[in-house]
Amino acid sequence: MSLIEITDVRKSYGTNEVLKGINLNVEPGEVVAVIGKSGSGKSTLLRCVNGLETISKGSISVAGAQLMNDEVHLKALRLKVGMIFQQFNLFPHLTVGGNVMLSQMVVKKTPKPNAEAMARKMLERVGLSEKFDAYPDQLSGGQQQRVAIARALAMQPIALLCDEITSALDPELVAEVLAVVRELAAEGMTLVMVTHEMKFARDVCSRVVFMHEGRVHEIGPPGEVFANPKTPELKQFLGMH
């Protein structure tokens, strides 16, 4: 059984169908890059996986937890997949430590000392242990995004969804975030990432999914997809003519 099973997922906004029947299975430990033009549905697909968008048809399950539209099922699903956003979305009224501790204490009812220990461990992992008491607005974008990763990791998910996590960063800050993601991948974390970092996708990912007009247009190992695109749309997207 695959870890993430996306079966015939359709999603419409009114009459505009943005996902037109997506099938995708992700195995444990896989690192999948989702690429495509803006408007191709890649972010929507990712947001559907942890229930930020409701799907119109089809089914999604993560490690046996089925996506359903009630709070109990959603919570069970979201405990298995973490999500990291383009805009970081740290809680500005809490310190870095508070950000990483909050959901552990509120959702998992972890006692405070344990939550703090976990927070320190995860911040250490993303190289920010000295920022425990800082507020998000005192950090650079790259540091904020690393805190967001630590916050997601502290919930001990079995997969992480990354939605263009470097797109809002200044170019010189992209590397530090990608280094953390690369390390996670090396440790065997299952990752599904929407990204524009083609070089990173080529180096780190086990599979690349090219989406076009709401469908999975091409899929395969990065070597094949990047070196040998089969469809004219992917060729155009990669700038090969």
Partner 1 sequence: MIEFTIWDILRNLLLATRWTIVLSLVSFVGGGMIGLVLLFLRLSRRKWARALAKYYIELFQGTPLLMQLFIAFFGLGLFGIDVPAWLAAGLALILWTAAFLGEIWRGCVEAIAKGQWEASASLGMGRLQQMRHVILPQAMRIAVPPTVGFSVQVIKGTALTSIIGFVELSKAGTVVTNATFQPFTVYGLVALIYFALCWPLSKSSQILERKLNVAHRNH
Residues lying near partner 1 in the complex (CB under 8 A) are found at 50-52, 71, 74-75, 78-79, 82-83, 85, 87, 89-93, 102-103, 106-108, 137, 148, 151-152, 155
Q: Which is nearer to partner 1, 116 or 233 (CB)?
A: 116
Q: Helix or strand or coil: residue 27?
A: coil
User: What is the spatial distance between Cα 173 and Cα 198, in angstroms, rounded to a whole number?
Assistant: 17
User: What is the spatial distance between Cα 183 and Cα 126, in angstroms, rounded to a whole number?
Assistant: 9
Q: Which is nearer to partner 1, 2 or 87 (CB)?
A: 87
- DSSP code, position 185: H
Task: Report the amino acid identity of residue 70.
Answer: D
Q: Which is nearer to partner 1, 18 or 208 (CB)?
A: 18
Question: Minimum distance from CB of 64 to partner 1 (Å)?
Answer: 17
- DSSP code, position 138: G
Question: Minimum distance from CB of 189 to partner 1 (Å)?
Answer: 16
Q: Which is nearer to partner 1, 140 or 228 (CB)?
A: 140
Question: Minimum distance from CB of 173 to partner 1 (Å)?
Answer: 16
Question: Minimum distance from CB of 231 to partner 1 (Å)?
Answer: 33
Q: Which of 218, 227, 224 is nearest to 40 (CA)?
A: 218
User: What is the spatial distance between Cα 71 and Cα 69, in angstroms, rounded to a whole number?
Assistant: 7
Q: Which is nearer to partner 1, 93 or 241 (CB)?
A: 93
22 bridge partner residues: 9
193's tokens: 């990432």
Question: Minimum distance from CB of 94 to partner 1 (Å)?
Answer: 8
Which string of b and e fits 131-167 if b means at least 16 CB within 10 Å? bbeebbeebebbbbbbbbbbbbbbbebbbbbbbbbbe
